[in-house]
């Protein structure tokens, strides 16, 4: 999907096109794989927190409170790929 296609979807409120693109992006062109990858990232994040390890909430709050929306959105994508890599099950052909 080209950028113009995605922008048209935003204008039309076509969320299905937008989330489909995210699935294709994180699934390397395979929408079903993308669904599994999104699930995998959330499962990894949940698993890491189950035992209540100490977290640097000051860092998190400072980041959320001081960084612009674009940087935070990029961080969201970065965290997705980071977490799936940390899970040990890497479906992508190349490297981050």
Please state the closest distance from residue 6 (CB atom) to another protein, in A. Answer: 8
CA 52 to chain CA centroid, nearest Å: 23
Sole residue written with tokens 């990894």? 44
Please give the DSSP secondary-structure letter assigned to residue 94: S
Q: Dihedral sign, CA of 80, 83, 89, 95?
A: positive
Residues contributing to the site for another protein (CB under 8 A): 1-6, 21-22, 24-25, 28-29, 31, 74, 77-78, 80-81, 90-96
Please state the closest distance from residue 56 (CB atom) to another protein, in A. Answer: 22
Nearer to another protein, 1 or 55 (CB): 1
């Amino acid at each position: 999907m080209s950028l113009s296609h995605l922008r048209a979807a935003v204008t039309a409120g076509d969320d299905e096109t937008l989330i489909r693109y995210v699935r294709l992006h994180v699934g390397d062109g395979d929408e079903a794989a993308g669904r599994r990858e999104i699930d995998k990232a959330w499962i990894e994040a949940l698993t890491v927190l189950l035992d209540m390890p100490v977290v640097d909430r000051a860092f998190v709050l400072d980041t959320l409170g001081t960084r612009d929306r674009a940087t935070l959105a990029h961080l969201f994508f970065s965290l997705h790929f980071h977490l799936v890599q940390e899970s040990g099950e890497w479906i992508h052909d190349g490297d981050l």
